[in-house]
A and B are shown apart, each in its own frame.
Chain A
Amino acid sequence: MHSSETTSPHVADVVTVVEAEKLPARRVRWSRRTNAPRTIKLDRSDYILRGISYTFVALFALFCLLPFVLIVSASLSSESEILANGFGLFPRGFTFTAYEYIFKSPRQIIGSYVVTVTMTVFGTAIGLFVISMTGFALFRQDFRFRNQISFFIYFTTLFSAGLAPTFLWVARELGLRGTYWAVFLQLLMTPWLIILMKNFMRTVPYEVVESGKVDGAGDFRIFVQLTLPMMKPALATVGLFLALGYWNEWYLSSLYLGSTVEFKPLQYYLYNIINTANALRNSVAGDNVSVTDLPSNTLKMASAVVATGPILLAYPFVQKYFVSGLTVGAVKG
């Protein structure tokens, strides 16, 4: 797996080794620990580049982080302070009022959580099974129809009916409008994930399949008992992309669910809170509270934190799978 760390020697270390051979012995200092030359001979341009690199990377990392800090501080600010002074980098008039509003009548947010978590768990499990099964079949070189089926799947990325005909078909002909199925089913797989899985399969030695065949195992058994256990990194990567698709889903909900369901998927719930004034009132309070009484600015920010929180907490643990997915996926299908 490619990761940010590498076990291969750094450029400077290599340079050292090479130069150590050429330089007179007295200029080489030997490391007692590794018993290898450790003199680092860097030229001025190396130091300049390194300086630029540290500075730029630090600034860019900060630039990426800053908006999240802004959202969290805004959610912890008091509404009157925000109205008077605007959002800032640090909480103004530190208070949990916005969160108290959300959790005073948590029906909506809990409902949304249940919908999103349910869809994510089942969607990822089912999608993963179907995708890996298809990827396995398309990876098999002795499968007569692999090219035809690969093209059949790949073609959908080249030419599509477009939004309007698809919408009419799914909403009217399939009758999925207003049902969670419209969202759940359409996120199960993408051509890209199937190709990614197929590319991952190449890391499994083909002899494994051959040996299974020799032992008289059927294709499905070879898949479940021999290939799948070797595919854990691939399953984690594809599963992560699927889970993320379900968790971050708002688009299909806006098309097919609208306001027909009581509990909207989490990100669509957030989308409504940001974009429509009434959604805020309906979601956090009874009808007896008018919109103007609500701390609407800080509430929006607190809702964003609540809707995003869990996935950000999980993120550092799954980061490496992103990397592997991206580097394997860059290989053409």
Chain B
Amino acid sequence: MAVVGQARPPKSLWRSVVDSRTLLLMCLPAIAFFVLFNYAPLPGIWIAFTNFNYRDGIFGSPFVGLQNFEFLIKSGQLWLLTRNTILYNVAFIVLGNLMQISLAIMLNELRLKYFKKVSQTLMFLPYFISVVLVGVIAFNLLNYDTGVLNTLIEATGGDPVKIYSMAGVWPLIIIVTFLWQSTGYGSIVYFAAIMGIDKTLFEAAAIDGASAWQRIRFVILPSLKPTFIILLLFSLGGIMHGNFGLFWNLVGNNAALFQTTDIIETSVYRMVMSQNNFTTSTAVGLYQSIFGFAFVMLANWFVRRINKDYALF
């Protein structure tokens, strides 16, 4: 240890590359992957400012400036998509966390081991299946001719309802489906956090004569705050990004419902797949990326101010 106390000369970049060549090589496949599928398409964003056609290609097509965005704003479509995407996400975040925290607290109260195990297994089930199957379930429940809902309504003497043309009820359907799919799984994080609470806190509360409600209010909920903040940050960062699979498999190409169900992802998918419209879809995608990025930064900045340890970067 002769060098102790002596400043080591800084390594040259080349020297570092040579020294860590094996580790660099080990990262290479992943780097190649992200270059190929995430970075290489980035220049294609230019399409948003052109009148793209296949013959001239991305950089040969005529430049139109912000015309694609102007169209989106004037038609009111951008506002509708933004509103739907954000409102759904707010509902998902608020109700989702509420359900997950309540469920975690209740799971913590269960004493019958077998009951707890079986119920947790069942509550995980919806998270595990493909979103296509969620669409099948919706069809089974809601379709006009043979759906369970209409079967029940008819059995009780009512008239069958055409759910697939009633735009007003779809926010409810989508939110319930989301909660059905994610609550059991999402509650695990909170449940683990409750398990991690120092047991002496519960003892102290018991000695002070705290009731079950006071135990929740003054011991459990404050302990869940860090977890809640991290999860909230993650979800706020993604507030411009919708759950495409869920929306598409529930609603699909059903134009009667777009007013209340169309989000950015479904709209872009439709433009690309059924209209071959690459210009508007790229413009919407760029708008989403920029604002999504801004939201992450904002959320991160905000959390940094509260507590540096919870920040993402």
Q: Please give the residue numbers on chain A whose beta carbons come within 8 Å of chain B beta carbons, in ascending order.
A: 2, 4-6, 8-12, 14-15, 17-19, 22, 43, 45-46, 48-50, 52-54, 56-58, 60-65, 67-68, 70-71, 74, 82-83, 85-89, 130-131, 133-134, 136-138, 140, 142-145, 149, 152-154, 156, 158-170, 173-174, 185-186, 188-189, 191, 194, 218-220, 223, 244, 247-248, 250-251, 254-255, 267-268, 270-271, 274-275, 297, 300-301, 304, 307-308, 311-312, 315-316, 319, 322-323, 326-327, 330, 332-333
Contact = CB atoms under 8 A, between A and B. Distances in A.
B16 interface: yes
A161 B36 CA distance: 12
Interface string B231-265: 10000000000001100010010000000000001
B42 A10 contact: no
A304 B202 CA distance: 47
Interface of B: 11, 16, 19-20, 22-24, 26-27, 29-31, 33-34, 36-45, 47, 58, 102-103, 105-111, 113, 115-133, 135-137, 139-141, 145-148, 150-151, 154, 180, 183-185, 188-189, 191-192, 195, 199, 202-203, 206-207, 211-213, 215-216, 227, 230-231, 244-245, 249, 252, 265, 268-269, 271-273, 278, 281-282, 284-286, 288-289, 292-293, 296, 310-313
A14 B202 contact: yes
Contact of B47 (A65, A89, A165): A165
B20 A145 contact: yes
A64 B26 contact: no
B180 A63 contact: yes
Contact of A67 (B102, B113, B132, B137): B137
17 contacts: A9-B199, A18-B206, A61-B122, A67-B141, A85-B151, A86-B145, A86-B148, A134-B30, A158-B292, A161-B44, A165-B45, A168-B278, A220-B22, A220-B26, A248-B130, A271-B249, A308-B133
Q: Chain B contact residues: over half helix, strand or loop, or mixed?
A: helix
A9 B106 CA distance: 17
Contacts of B108: 11
A153 B102 CA distance: 35
B37 A185 contact: yes
A86 B154 CA distance: 10
B71 to A, nearest CB: 15
**Nearest 8 CB-CB pairs, A to B?**
A162-B285, A165-B44, A86-B151, A248-B130, A53-B106, A45-B211, A161-B41, A219-B22
A71 B123 contact: no
A71 B137 contact: yes
Given A164-B278, A186-B37, A326-B185, A54 B139 contact: no
A156 B30 contact: no
Given A130-B33, A271-B132, A271-B135, A163 B268 contact: yes
B142 to A, nearest CB: 10
A170 B39 CA distance: 12
B111 A10 contact: yes
Given A14-B202, A330-B189, A57 B103 contact: yes
Given A162-B45, A330-B227, A130 B29 contact: yes
A43 B268 contact: no
A170 B33 CA distance: 12
